A and B are shown apart, each in its own frame.
Chain A
Amino acid sequence: MLTIERGRTNVVPPVLLTVCVVLLFMRGVSIFYATFYHKAPERIVAWQQPKALDKSRRDLLSRPSLYFFCDNSNQFNSIMTQLYDNMLFQNREIVSMINESVVPIRVVLNGEKSDALAKSLKNSLRVTNTPSACLALPNGAYVESTAWQSDRMFVAFLHDAMEHSVRTAGFEAMRNTDWDTACKAFQLDFENKPSDELVDYYGTMYWSIALRHNHNEARAREVLQDALKRNTKAIYFDKDDRWPEPCVHFLLGEISWDELKKRASEYKKKHKYQAETAQYVYAANLLLEGKTEQAKKELREVAENKDTRYYYSGKFARAELRGLGETYPKEEEDNDTESYD
């Protein structure tokens, strides 16, 4: 049998062996302690009980709600919920972000036996898997959701969702023809971004429309010009990414409606939404110029287009028409929480 003699070059240092054995013992003890004696820390997120969504709320810029959906109907889901509770919601950075910036609401599902309120929230916020977290505006408008279990990704999700919530608040305010809130939200969204970053044309375009509704023509022109100036040097590898730049030129009066229509038809995705967005911008511009009858006709075309029902152009057109006294039922689109630019 091979043996190692003391003092030879192939001897394992006793110190190393001792350290190794001690650390292995400590490993065993720490795992044993964690398994049988360690108590999970108390929940430090102040979760609230769920309530039915109040779609009539207009305070869209107040704290958004973070819905945490968990399901205890099977063992796997229970373990995953424990992971969220014991890791994600014990991370000090996540806890302070949740407690300071959102209203945390815990929705406990129980498979098919879930109560009506939990089911309704799950459907309204389009929850497909549990556990997952979803950020929504005070009126229940969906912002963003995640099912990621890594704490760093969860922090990233929260940052991202908080930023998007401001922009979504602007769009939701446009749907309510609440121009004041829309202007505030778009302004806030603009200020949140670094000054040398590309500007989102959609947000800017709708912001300028809201500003004009608020009789602030000069600022409306200024935000459009600023957006063009900031985005002008960007390189776009996909031509479609430039959309809706022509709409901005149109709102500035630099191109005609015919020219805008022609440019909208040049984009690959024109059949999906470009033509409708252009038409909505044209109609909104007519309305702001006081040509109400002509504007109504154009808005009706956008509002009644089935293909773009869930696009913001369609939703805004219906909102403007409702503001002009026409009846467009809101229920159907309210059940759908998703919207597209």
Chain B
Amino acid sequence: MNKAIFLFTMKRYLHWVNLLVGGVALTISVLLWGLALCVDSAVTKELVRSCLFGPMVAIVVSYTVISPQVANSQRRKDGEYLSLIFSRPISRWSYVVTKWLTGSVFVLAIMALQTTLSLAAAYILSVMWRGHPQNIVDGYAITDAILNAFGVTALVVFIASMPQRIAVFVFILYAYAVLFLTLLVGTASFVSLSLDHVSKTVTAFGQMLYSIFIVGMDSYHVINASDFPVASAVIYLSNIALYLTLATLIMSYREFFYAND
């Protein structure tokens, strides 16, 4: 991991454009989730949980701050010019890992901030209604947040290493899929773990291909399953290693194109 890239990336996250856009999005989502947490219903509770700790926040936040399409443009005066960075003795691998770790830390910080503010909003609103805000923070939620932050950020690092046109297309496709699965409360986690048990009805080859695109893991399933779902844990770790390796390879082969960023 490269300390200079870590600090530079962190500094870029606090750019006024990011702060402004992020602040508005955060305010809207905090009010929305705060309101939803006041409703005494399992669906709203799981929806908020899915939105706060699921892959949606991770994919949107990490893509916004990592991708060269958004963050490294020359339109920004503090642009991160890859051609300049890689004229130094910094390895592509180090750059990729640093971006992954910085992105994950930033995503976790945003998740923590959003959750704290949403709970505060829910408590204030519930005092008015004399109700009880639903509690969504537990060990499973914290574990899921960490797993999703690291898994999804690795995917985003991989997407961001692709040529711009392909990257935007893949990102939009993923963002839609994640949004769809997040809104189908609880289904995202169910899809990721159905592999182990329904395997008899699906071919192994189909599962192999399908599992490449699964980036999250649901700790509740893993801990409460009657037998430990080995495949899900292996798939999760394997995907992170795969995404980071592919990102390094792509960046290495694309070094002559950075000047066009």
Chain A interface mostly: helix
Interface contact B91-A11, CB-CB below 8 Å:
yes
- Minimal beta-carbon separation of A4 from chain B (angstroms): 6
In this assembly, does A20 line the interface, its C-beta being within 8 Å of a C-beta of chain B? yes
> How many angstroms from the CA of A325 to the CA of B203 in the assembled complex?
67
Interface contact A82-B130, CB-CB below 8 Å:
no
Query: Which of B92, B231, B255 touches A31 (beta carbons < 8 Å)?
Result: B231
- Minimal beta-carbon separation of A198 from chain B (angstroms): 6
Interface residues on A, range: 35 or more
In this assembly, does B252 line the interface, its C-beta being within 8 Å of a C-beta of chain A? yes
Interface contact A27-B42, CB-CB below 8 Å:
no
In this assembly, does B260 line the interface, its C-beta being within 8 Å of a C-beta of chain A? no
In this assembly, does A30 line the interface, its C-beta being within 8 Å of a C-beta of chain B? yes
Interface contact B190-A151, CB-CB below 8 Å:
yes
Chain B interface mostly: helix
Interface contact B197-A40, CB-CB below 8 Å:
yes
Interface contact A234-B130, CB-CB below 8 Å:
yes
Chain B residue at smallest Cβ distance from A28: B208
In this assembly, does B17 line the interface, its C-beta being within 8 Å of a C-beta of chain A? no
A92-B224 CB under 8 A given contacts A9-B89, A9-B90, A35-B199: yes
Interface contact B245-A82, CB-CB below 8 Å:
no
- Minimal beta-carbon separation of B101 from chain A (angstroms): 14
Interface contact B203-A149, CB-CB below 8 Å:
no
Query: Which of A10, A16, A160 touches B251 (beta carbons < 8 Å)?
Result: A10
Q: Mark B86-130, 1 if CB is under 8 A from A, else 0.
A: 100111110000000000000000000000000000000000111
Q: Mark A17-39, 1 if CB is under 8 A from B, else 0.
A: 10110011011101110111010
A16-B245 CB under 8 A given contacts A23-B234, A38-B199, A194-B132: yes
> How many angstroms from the CA of A149 to the CA of B186 in the assembled complex?
8
Please name all residues of chain B whose beta carbon is closer than 8 Å to the beta carbon of A86 when the two chains form the complex: 197-198
Interface residues on B, range: 35 or more
- Minimal beta-carbon separation of B130 from chain A (angstroms): 4
Interface contact B185-A150, CB-CB below 8 Å:
yes
Please name all residues of chain A whose beta carbon is closer than 8 Å to the beta carbon of B129 when the two chains form the complex: 198, 234-235
> How many angstroms from the CA of A197 to the CA of B200 in the assembled complex?
48
A9-B234 CB under 8 A given contacts A4-B252, A151-B220, A233-B130: no
Chain A residue at smallest Cβ distance from B89: A9
In this assembly, does B74 line the interface, its C-beta being within 8 Å of a C-beta of chain A? no
Interface contact B128-A90, CB-CB below 8 Å:
no
> How many angstroms from the CA of A28 to the CA of B128 in the assembled complex?
54
Query: Which of A10, A41, A44, A87 touches B255 (beta carbons < 8 Å)?
Result: A10
Interface contact A41-B204, CB-CB below 8 Å:
no
Interface contact A30-B230, CB-CB below 8 Å:
yes
> How many angstroms from the CA of A34 to the CA of B196 in the assembled complex?
6
In this assembly, does B57 line the interface, its C-beta being within 8 Å of a C-beta of chain A? no
A87-B242 CB under 8 A given contacts A9-B86, A151-B221: no
Interface contact A156-B93, CB-CB below 8 Å:
no
Interface contact B91-A10, CB-CB below 8 Å:
yes
**Contacting residues of chain A (300-314) with chain B, CB-CB under 8 angstroms:** none
Interface contact A27-B235, CB-CB below 8 Å:
yes
In this assembly, does A83 line the interface, its C-beta being within 8 Å of a C-beta of chain B? yes
> How many angstroms from the CA of A90 to the CA of B86 in the assembled complex?
52
**Which B residues are within 8 Å of any A CB, using their own CB?**
42-43, 45-46, 86, 89-93, 128-132, 185-187, 189-190, 193-204, 207-208, 211, 220-221, 224-227, 230-231, 234-235, 237-238, 241-242, 244-245, 248-249, 251-253, 255
